[in-house]
């Protein structure tokens, strides 16, 4: 995740990171559809929509919003893992939280060291 802008060199890094936020959030829509419960599907669509809005704002705003989005998504992953809100996601939330937080940490370090993202 932290190196994803290398694959999309023609886009600003913040745009690539912001798109990554809603893509990883949208994965849970697929898990909720596999779960099949309408309440779970509706909740996951709502959460993914919130991350899409955050990502859209993060495209033109400071990169710290990307870090906030990744951190928030990691927190959502931990909640998902503890609550088992979506069935059959035993291994995915801890994996995704780790990816989110490592990427957030890498971006934070990059910002502290002076890397410009926009």
- How far from the centroid of its chain's Cα atoms is residue 62's Cα? 16
pLDDT digits (tens, 9 = 90+) for 10-57: 998 888 988 888 888 888 899 999 999 999 999 999 999 999 999 899
pLDDT band at 113 (very low <50, low <70, confident <90, very high): very high
pLDDT band at 118 (very low <50, low <70, confident <90, very high): low
Strand runs labelled E in 52-114: none
Cα-flanking dihedrals φ and ψ of residue 50, to 5°?
-60, -40
Q: How much is the average pLDDT of 65-70?
A: 92
Tokens at residue 46, please? 């709502």
d(CA 108, CA 115): 10
User: Regarding predicted confidence, which is higher, 112 or 63?
Assistant: 112
Q: Where are the domains of the chain?
A: 14-112
Helices (H), strands (E): how many in the chain? 4, 0
Say what the pLDDT of residue 21 is: 87
Say what the pLDDT of residue 109 is: 93
Q: What is the pTM of this model?
A: 0.87
pLDDT digits (tens, 9 = 90+) for 86-108: 888 888 899 999 999 999 999 99
């Amino acid at each position: 995740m932290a190196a994803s802008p290398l694959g999309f060199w023609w886009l600003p890094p913040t745009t690539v990171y912001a798109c990554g936020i809603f893509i990883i959030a949208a994965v849970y829509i697929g898990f909720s559809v596999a779960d099949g419960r309408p309440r779970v599907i509706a909740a996951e669509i709502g959460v993914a929509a919130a991350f899409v809005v955050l990502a859209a704002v993060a495209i033109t705003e400071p990169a710290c919003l990307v870090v906030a989005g990744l951190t928030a998504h990691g927190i959502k992953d931990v909640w998902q893992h503890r609550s088992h809100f979506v069935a059959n996601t035993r291994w995915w939330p801890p994996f995704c939280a780790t990816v989110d937080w490592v990427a957030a940490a890498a971006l934070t370090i990059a910002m502290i060291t002076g890397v410009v993202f926009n």
